[in-house]
Chains A and B, each alone.
Chain A
Amino acid sequence: MDLLEFARGPALQTAAYILVAGTIWRIVGIVMLKEKADYSEPRGRGGFFAALKVIWTRAFTAEPFKKATMYPKMMAYVMHIGLFATIFLFTPHIVFFEGWMGFDWPGLPNSVIFFIGVATVISGVALLVRRMTSPVLKMISNFDDYFSWFVTMLPLITGLLIPVRVLFQYEDLLAIHILSVALLLIWLPFGKLGHAFLVFITRGTTGMVFERRGART
């Protein structure tokens, strides 16, 4: 078994099992926690629509913070949209998902994906620099933040290296790329990358609690 076969086979399989088990563990563990009793008089209904409202409004910056957070917000958007495009709109990736799910969708030309990938890495580096230079962010950052950044950027960087063939041959770079994806999948449920599947649960919960207490959302 060569490195590519190992990456495509046992490594990816193990990562998938850990991803599935870890994700469901986190979601079930959080959802089944007992809700804290709130004896205050409700100032709003705090239902499902309150959750949806905050999920929507938190996608944008509140007016007072707009100027101060414009730069990181833009970089974060570029990074997340870039990640989405490189993962889901690159044809070899679509072929991968098709092999797994049985259906496909149109992709973007490779040159466009390459450009998006480079922009994504640049935005990721910009966010890291900000995290390392801002005194407040630096103080509240821990290993989880930096390692999550690392495992997110690694598949992007290794993926971008494949067509330019730097240091290694195609099949070795492809194997390294898949192994880096396996590392990402393994880490995803347990660190701050868990926001990939928790973001709407946490924001929705915040929305319900805030509206019940009468906070402006």
Chain B
Amino acid sequence: MNYTPTVGQILQAKGVSRRGFLKYCATTASLLALPPSMIPRIAEAIENARRPSVIWLSFQECTGCTESLTRSSSPTVEGLIFDAISLDYHHTLQAASGDQAEAARHAAMEENDGNYLVLVDGSIPMGNPGFSTIAGISNYDMLMETVAGAAAVVAIGSCAAFGGIPGANPNPTGAVSVKDLVTDKPVINVPGCPPIPMVITGVLAQFLTFGAIPDLDKHGRPLAFFGNTIHDRCYRRPFYEQGKFADTFDDEGAKAGWCLYKLGCKGPTTYNACATVKWNSGTSFPIESGHPCLGCSEPRFWDKGGFYQPLSTGHFGSGAKLAGAAVAGAALGVAAAAAGRRRQAKFTREA
């Protein structure tokens, strides 16, 4: 009989201290908005969980999501947790290739039928099966075959969650999201371009802890991480309230760290945990480094106007059409006045 170590044993073997592990559990509980009393339960669940089998499918993507997860500046506990899962199939990370790789996927599916997780990054082209294939299998066929025996599916990154860049207008490949195709399994969207590593592992930790998918918002995103806007948690928010804005990227306002709303920040309409969890081991996030939020965790963020166009900028239409409206109005006015004059003349004659 094969011996499968628990996640706790794996972390111990990798030198993660009890203190470090509990700190991770406390952070996860905090991120998931759970009470402190849940920390021991999270710790117990993660410690005792058998290595869950994970199949990671990459379709129309740039590998940025994998980079996000693997390019941590130092080995973090969440990184090690990710190491602790049984990543049975991942194009970029696995050593096997060709038939061997596909055999590994099929073996994982058979051995863990009904219990494995499928993580997907990249959108699925529906325009033509040949647009994107792996081992001669179309992305659609591979996805549908793999999710058939899965416990749940996690769409990693905005491409898998919403179609992302491949799905941007004019969407030449007919790219769709995982949720557009997978309707009979729980699908958790973890969008972002790329998503925050802690959010990915946090979702996995919650799944391991409770064995169920977390509460999701209307876009299928875990509320624990996507419940607030960047603007809600932004440290520059007080400047927004005070009416202090950077007008350009190098003016005094920008140097003083004022609000980037006028430079097109999409923080008010973007739901993500960047402002609290941050990036690069909690170093900073885009706004902190002086760039407005692009809104990358929102559906169709590529097609929502210019990145540097302020949110409140409306579209009054083209000057030509407005001029046309003015001419039409003037013509109506002249006609109305002419009718009025005729009426006036008639009354004058009658009088």
Q: Nearest A residue to B328 by beta-carbon distance?
A: A21
Question: Is B340 within 8 A of A92, CB to CB?
Answer: no
B210 to chain A, nearest CB (A): 26
Whether a CB of chain A sits under 8 angstroms from the CB of B262 is yes
* Selected contact of B315 from candidates A2, A12, A107, A174, CB within 8 Å: A12
Whether a CB of chain A sits under 8 angstroms from the CB of B316 is yes
The number of residue pairs between A and B whose CB atoms lie closer than 8 Å in the complex comes to 121
**Stretch from A51-59, A61-69, A93-101, A142-150 at the B interface:** A93-101
**Stretch from A27-35, A76-84, A201-209 at the B interface:** A27-35
* Selected contact of B329 from candidates A28, A30, A31, A99, CB within 8 Å: A28
Q: Nearest A residue to B322 by beta-carbon distance?
A: A20
**With A25-B333, A34-B344: A92-B311 Cβ-Cβ less than 8 Å:** yes
Please name all residues of chain A whose beta carbon is closer than 8 Å to the beta carbon of B328 when the two chains form the complex. Answer: 21
User: Dominant SS at the B interface?
Assistant: helix
Taking CB atoms and an 8 Å cut-off, the chain B residues in 325-340 that contact chain A are: 325-326, 328-330, 332-334, 336-338, 340
Q: Roughly how many angstroms separate A45 CA and B241 CA in the complex, as a whole number?
A: 53
Question: Is B312 within 8 A of A95, CB to CB?
Answer: yes
Whether a CB of chain B sits under 8 angstroms from the CB of A178 is yes
* Selected contact of B314 from candidates A8, A17, A22, A111, CB within 8 Å: A8
Q: Nearest B residue to A26 by beta-carbon distance?
A: B333
Question: Is A25 within 8 A of B329, CB to CB?
Answer: yes
Question: Is B241 within 8 A of A22, CB to CB?
Answer: no
Q: Roughly how many angstroms separate A109 CA and B329 CA in the complex, as a whole number?
A: 38
Question: Is B333 within 8 A of A100, CB to CB?
Answer: no
Taking CB atoms and an 8 Å cut-off, the chain A residues in 3-27 that contact chain B are: 4-5, 8-9, 12-13, 16-18, 20-27
Question: Is B243 within 8 A of A27, CB to CB?
Answer: no
Question: Is B340 within 8 A of A29, CB to CB?
Answer: yes
Q: Roughly how many angstroms separate A16 CA and B304 CA in the complex, as a whole number?
A: 21
Question: Is A21 within 8 A of B344, CB to CB?
Answer: no
Q: Roughly how many angstroms separate A93 CA and B322 CA in the complex, as a whole number?
A: 20
Taking CB atoms and an 8 Å cut-off, the chain A residues in 135-178 that contact chain B are: 170-171, 174, 178
* Selected contact of B340 from candidates A2, A33, A91, CB within 8 Å: A33
Q: Nearest B residue to A35 by beta-carbon distance?
A: B344
A183 to chain B, nearest CB (A): 14
Selected A-B contacts with CB under 8 Å, 18 pairs: A12-B314, A17-B321, A26-B333, A28-B336, A29-B332, A32-B333, A32-B338, A33-B337, A91-B245, A93-B312, A95-B261, A99-B309, A99-B310, A107-B243, A109-B243, A110-B241, A174-B269, A174-B311
Q: A32-B333, A92-B310, A171-B269 are in contact. List 12 more A-B contacts (CB 8 A).
A: A9-B315, A16-B316, A21-B328, A24-B333, A28-B333, A29-B332, A91-B262, A99-B314, A107-B243, A110-B241, A171-B268, A174-B269
Q: List chain A positions with a Cβ less than 8 A from chain B.
A: 2, 4-5, 8-9, 12-13, 16-18, 20-34, 36, 91-93, 95-96, 99-100, 107-111, 170-171, 174, 178
